[in-house]
């Protein structure tokens, strides 16, 4: 492939430290706009979490996140991520 086709998309944002709080608040609001739901094979809901809570659990307890991924791969759980409006 030529170098023209291998271009990666990169975005750079510049803002002052005064805008940092506003940017972080917007990011947190966007993360909270998502809902993570775990369901059994029969369709019953195991747990439904806001996006930020799911992110924090995944970062703080990575073993739990790994177990959820393994259960999903073994088709024991269905993981759905949806945007709440």
pLDDT digits (tens, 9 = 90+) for 51-80: 888 888 888 888 888 888 888 888 888 888
Q: What is the reported pTM?
A: 0.60
Confidence of residue 3 (pLDDT cuts 50, 70, 90): low
In a domain, 25, yes or no: no
Does 15 fall in a domain? no
Evaluate if residue 47 carries a pLDDT over 70.
yes
Considering the domain boundaries, does residue 23 fall inside one? no
Give residue 67's domain range.
35-83
**CA dist list (Å): 78 to 9, 16, 33, 55, 56:** 32, 42, 20, 18, 20
Domain count of the chain? Answer: 1
Residue 5, pLDDT above cutoff 70: no
């Amino acid at each position: 492939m030529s170098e023209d086709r291998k271009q990666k998309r990169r975005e750079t944002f510049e803002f002052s430290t005064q805008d940092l709080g506003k940017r972080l608040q917007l990011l947190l609001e966007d993360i909270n706009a998502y809902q993570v739901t775990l369901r059994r094979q029969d369709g019953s809901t195991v747990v439904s979490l806001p996006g930020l809570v799911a992110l924090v659990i995944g970062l703080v307890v990575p073993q739990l996140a790994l177990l959820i991924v393994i259960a999903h791969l073994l088709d024991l759980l269905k993981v759905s991520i949806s945007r709440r409006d």
